[in-house]
Amino acid sequence: MKAAKTGHFKRLQLVKPFVGRIFLGFLVMLVAIVIQLAFPKAVSYFVDTISKEKTTDWLLVPAILVFVTFIVYCTVTALRFYLFESTGAMIVRKLRERLYGSIIKQEIGFFDTTKTGELTSRLTVDIDLLKDALSMNIAIMVRSLIVGIGGFVMLFGLSPLLSALVVLTLPISLLLTKWLGKKVRSKSMALQESLSTSVHTAQESFSNIRVIQAFNQSKKAMETYSASAESVLEHSLINSRLMATFQGLSTFTSFSTLLLTVLVGGWLISKGTMTIGELTSFILYAGMVSLSVNAISSLWGQWMRSYGATERVFELLDRVSEVQTYKEGLKPAHLKGQVEFANISFAYPGRQEKEVLKSFGLTINSGEKVALVGPSGAGKTTVVNLLLGFYEPSKGCITFDGIDSSTLDYRSIRESIAIVEQEPVLFSGTIAENIGYALHKPLTRLDEIRHAAEMANAHDFIANFPKGYHTAVGEKGVQLSGGQKQRIAIARAVIKNPKILILDEATSALDSENELLVQDALNKLMQGRTTIIIAHRYSTVAQADKLVVLNKGELIQYGTHQALIENEEGLYNKLMVHQMG
């Protein structure tokens, strides 16, 4: 995995567009802090004045001032909450988009070795943890720090002796915070990993629900998910015990300090060096300081818990794709469709010790139909994957119209390529949306979609649906039959009007009736296009201009169907005659 390590300061660029909102949030927060720090002084004034004054006439004006001040305090508190909470949501949205963009641009090899559930977990669970860390928690941390410092200043102004007692408890709080941070940080990564595993387990079960129920394995699936959920619980309980221990020790420290303050304060009042109002004010300020220190400690623990999520998110955000298919390069104005594989060798990233292709060489002329034939594992699909730029060859190069693909912008190459697979992928949405998916236009005209469907022999069955082209296909096209999905996939290829067409076992999973319809649609689609066919069926490969026979990653035979079938000792003849009839 390649990762471009960015510093923490560079990562703060995410916050840059929202500096104005954050500044306003801190401004209204300062107003609230000033009012909060003034409150104990006001209480002290009330307590001492009540003990001196014989009437209550003086209470009206202070009461009105306090009421107005409370209205201001409540207003700025609500505004502060909204500004920081909404800004956090905006930052997280931007972060989530950037993370999704980073994931979607990774090479196919990355997805081969990374669980889908783990990626989903990073986009949801991990970033949700960051939301509080990037919004309210930072604001509360700053607020608590300012209130704590302001409270200390007021404490020393009231009584240096009592303030010294409060200061003595600070090292205990700091040691507790350090202990908590170290412990929680070491456990946070394990918790996030267990969460992503649990998400992956559920996602995999939902995706394969038909297989689970067909084999009566619902109980086993439940047991597997329960085990992953138990792992999450165990790690969560560890964190909960740490936080509970911290809260208990912090509360004991705070109340011990308060008790000592009241005892010494009572002694100072008896000596006449402190009034009851001043002691009341001191206790309130001491409470503020204590709450602020506890809040900072608690938030530090939460930040450490989110540390694992932070590292996981930015590790993926900083990752650089090992296959640079999104790099800027030469954009050919018009590809003719000539393709050459020049001495290609390749091994998949997770199996570097096993070469899937060995010194593979093949030239496909523009408009030529070439079929790749061979036993399972021969390297046929690998040839297609390399052509699409999903992987980079270990040796050799691929050229389009004589131009090395490494110098080209692969996005422009893919604009001229369409693929129809054995198991066509349809997205949740309507038939029209799935056919128009091949184009970048935001809105594809319905007459264009209908023409493509007619070319693919799909219009008749689509027209029979009550909603026609606006019929929802369901997740992965579950509402359609195999032949219907295949013809929609062909229509999607038709509307793209590609110069290079890839047919990967496009008719192998169909019955004879559907195969005839699909094959007729494919014949129309192949006209005038460079076509690479992966197939086993005699009827499909017989239509190719040239056949390429692969075995164990090597090109064994090459020629026309007639020439290869006449070679009774050749691999192609054995495959056709003895395996497929």
Side-chain-facing half-sphere of 63: CA atoms under 13 Å: 5
Amino acid type, 429: G
Sole residue written with tokens 């038909």: 210
The Cα 187–Cα 307 span in angstroms is: 10
Phi-psi domain of 404 (left: phi exceeds 0; alpha: psi -120 through 50; beta: other): beta
Instruction: Calculate the alpha carbon distances from 560 to 40, 115, 193, 207, 370 in Å.
Output: 96, 43, 54, 42, 9
Q: Are 142 and 104 in contact (CB under 8 A)?
A: no
Residue 96 to residue 102: CA distance in whole angstroms: 10
How many CB atoms lie under 10 A from the CB of residue 522? 25
Cβ pair 491, 452 in contact under 8 A: yes
SS3 letters for 324-351? CCCCCCECCCCCCCCEEEEEEEECCHHH
Per-residue DSSP letter, 58: G
What are the CA-CA distances from residue 98 to residues 91, 93, 104, 127 (Å)? Answer: 11, 9, 10, 11
Strands 500-504 and 417-421: parallel
pLDDT at 7: 47
Closest CA to 193 of 153, 236, 164: 236
Q: Is 535 in a helix, a strand, or coil?
A: coil
Walking along the chain (581 residues) 10 residues at a time, the average pLDDT comes out as: 47 75 88 86 78 69 84 89 84 84 82 80 78 71 83 82 74 66 67 76 73 71 84 82 73 74 80 81 79 72 66 80 64 82 88 86 92 86 89 90 85 86 83 85 76 88 90 81 86 88 77 75 85 78 85 87 72 61 43
Given a contact cutoff of 8 angstroms between Cβ atoms, the answer to whether 301 and 246 are in contact is yes
Torsion sign (Cα): 428, 430, 433, 435:
positive
In the chain, the amino acid numbered 564 is L
Token couple for 439: 């184009």
Q: Which of 391, 393, 390 is nearest to 341 (CA)?
A: 393
Instruction: Compute the C-alpha angle 509/514/519, nearest 5°.
Output: 85
Selection from 545, 539, 550, 511 nearest residue 526 by Cα? 545
Specify the amino acid at residue 418: A
d(CA 530, CA 226): 51
Domains in the chain, CATH or no CATH each: 2-320 (1.20.1560.10), 339-580 (3.40.50.300)
Query: Distances from the Cα of 285 to the Cαs of 66, 70, 126, 156, 192, in angstroms?
Result: 18, 18, 37, 10, 39
Q: What is the side-by-side strand order in the sheet with 339-346?
A: 357-364, 339-346, 395-400, 403-404
Whole-number Å distance between alpha carbons of 71 and 32: 11
Alpha-carbon distance of 184 to 247, in angstroms, equals 14
Amino acid type, 15: V
∠ CA 444-450-452, rounded to 5°: 85
Rounded Cα distance between 196 and 310, Å, is: 14
Question: Helix (H, G, I), strand (E, B), or coil: what is residue 450?
Answer: helix
Residue 35 has a pLDDT of 87
Instruction: Report the run of H or E that residue 296 belongs to, with start and end.
Output: helix 276-317
What is the CA 84 to chain-centroid distance, rounded? 23
Using CA atoms, how far residue 472 sits from 209, 408, 432, 479, 581, in Å, is 20, 38, 9, 8, 39
- pLDDT of 4 reads 44
- Give the separation between CA 9 and CA 11, rounded to whole angstroms: 5
* Residue 580: predicted pLDDT: 46
